[in-house]
Amino acid sequence: MDHTDQLYKLWGEIYPAQSTDKLGKFLESLKREEPTKDFPAISDWYKDAVVYALYVDLFNNDFSGLIDKLDYLQELGINCLWLLPILDSPMRDAGFDIRNYDRIRSGLLGLTDDSSMEDRQEVFGHFLNEAHNRGIRVVFDIAINHCSDEHPWFIEARKSEDNPYRDYFIWSKDIRLYGDARLLFKGIEESNWEPAGDGWNYFHRFFSFQPDLNYRNQQVLLEMAANLLYWQKMGVDGFRADAIPYLWKVEGTDCENLDTTHAIVKFFRTILDYVKPGSLLLAEACQRPRKVVRYMGDGDECHAAYHFPLMPMMFKAIAAASNEPIINTLSPKVTPEIPENAQWFTFLRVHDELSLELVYVSEEDRKFIHENYCHKPEWNFRVGEGVSARLSELMKKDVNKIGLAYSLMLTLTGTPVVYYGDEFGKLNDEKYYAEQIKLTGKDDTRFLVRGRIDWQKLDRELKNEDGFHARVFSMITSMLNARKSMKVFGRGTTEFFDTQESVLAYLRKTIDEEAFVVNNLSVKEQVINNPFPDRNMIILHAEGLTVDDGNDTLKLDPHGFAWFGVL
């Protein structure tokens, strides 16, 4: 089935027995567009990516400052940037509250609010060219479930019941509607409905200033598709689709992961492929793996998705000195197979909390992880459902434990995501946290894990080779570049070895490459037999390793680890 037929098929699933006229006119308009830029059109480039997530302004002020640091990122071993929200926004939710989908915040571009679209495109286009010239791809966040209450659509919608934009959002005088939809921001919001005057309320799954879009309106679907295509044409390499499980609402359901939601996401994937194949669509779906894999469809929905359950299990494995949490989570009974062209994205920390939602951890696991990593009361998030802290804080600035955590993340299944600043052990930013509470009026402890990089201060700290930040930076840089040296880490199968519980050892394997990884999860020295005594093993990276050739054993210091290329 070609893309056009697929789009009509999906349209019929979303809007059964409704006219296809709007879709036909939309597709006809695309034929008149100029072809998009190419860089280069490799369909599964994301499997070999090492992703670096950053806020442009917090990282280095604006896109000019980011260009100045592209060489730093390239030397670090990064080949893909994930730009956390950059679109125009009042910034009450770090940019996830989008005010205009077709423009970037003026300050990030070094421009004023009245700058022309041409000037905006020139600045952003220059950044894309500079990144692409260094072999670095660029993806960014786009919230497709909701927008800001300052978006022109919503400003119009709330003016009157008969306004043309009223139906872009969800309204009700009865707030019992969609009563089975869980409250996502427990402890922050009291309801999924917000009063809007005259007895009317609008529906929202996140902050009250982020009204949900109404995809039952055909125009909303086409408007969002046009937004994606606008940035694709600019040269963006893909999108992190924020909060996609909630797109479609049906009374009597939990309004999550509904079949029509999947049809909408497939529509977006197909329209991107229709214009330019190879643009990444990354699912942000905080769900159990069996539900998340549905967002990859049969290779026709999202190209990739975050493996949310693996993240807390890496922390549990280290705290419990046990390989069981990881082996169990990556077993077929928890993590189903994914399509050949799909990929998991893995991470230790991102801009959100160390999430412990019960959709993918048990009550017992949540309690254990929270007790072992929530070292300060103010790190508590969502009444025990998460911990708001940087990796270095969670690990109490223990360089060995930070390295071990990265060893797990970089060598287990999928494409790794490095959160900005973690490469040098950035700490929680309490000053930024206080600033954001004042700005937003919300005590959102996730602001602790954001904050600015002081490059002058960092440069001084990195010169102290024995200092905490320099030691972390040297180790992580070496690890990232070692990982890039072999494609097997992003593409290979994983075979776990039978060892003592406190050791996690596995073979990553493709037809062309094999890599053996061993991690000591405990605070005690561990010794294992060399599983490949008759083959050459090249050390790719190691911390706390002693090889005894005479006894064919590998000795690991507390929290030591080693990666080998097996020939």
Q: Which residues are catalytic?
A: 242, 284
What is the largest distance, in Å, between two alpha-carbon atoms of the chain?
83
Please give the angle made by the CA atoms of 45, 39 and 300, to the nearest 5 degrees.
45
Q: DSSP secondary structure string, 316-358? A: HHHHHT-SHHHHHHTSTTTS----TT-EEEEES--SS-EE--T
Q: Residue 94 and residue 126: Cα distance in Å, rounded? A: 24
Contacts of 463 (CB under 8 A, 6+ apart): 470
Dihedrals phi, psi of 439, to nearest 5 degrees: -70, -45
Q: Residue 201 and residue 222: Cα distance in Å, rounded? A: 25
Contact 404, 561 (CB under 8 A): yes
Dihedral of CA atoms 384, 386, 390, 392 in degrees, nearest 10, equals 70
Start-to-end C-alpha separation, the chain: 43
Contact 391, 472 (CB under 8 A): no
Bin 362: left if φ > 0, else alpha if -120 < ψ < 50, else beta: beta
Q: What is the DSSP letter of 171?
A: E
For the record, the structure tokens of 471 come out as 């030691």
Please name every residue paired with 515 in a beta bridge, in sequence order, or none if there are none: 508, 565
Q: Residue 396 and residue 349: Cα distance in Å, rounded? A: 15
Closest-CA residue to 267 (of 27, 102, 85): 27
Q: Residue 463 and residue 475: Cα distance in Å, rounded? A: 14
CA distances from 301 to 156, 195, 213, 219 (A): 33, 35, 20, 21
Segments in 87-241 forming alpha helices (H): 106-109, 117-133, 152-157, 218-234
Q: Residue 10 and residue 267: Cα distance in Å, rounded? A: 6
Q: Residue 104 and residue 113: Cα distance in Å, rounded? A: 10
Q: Residue 57 and residue 519: Cα distance in Å, rounded? A: 36
* Sign of the Cα pseudo-torsion (510, 516, 522, 528, in order): positive
Closest-CA residue to 304 (of 415, 443, 412, 205): 415
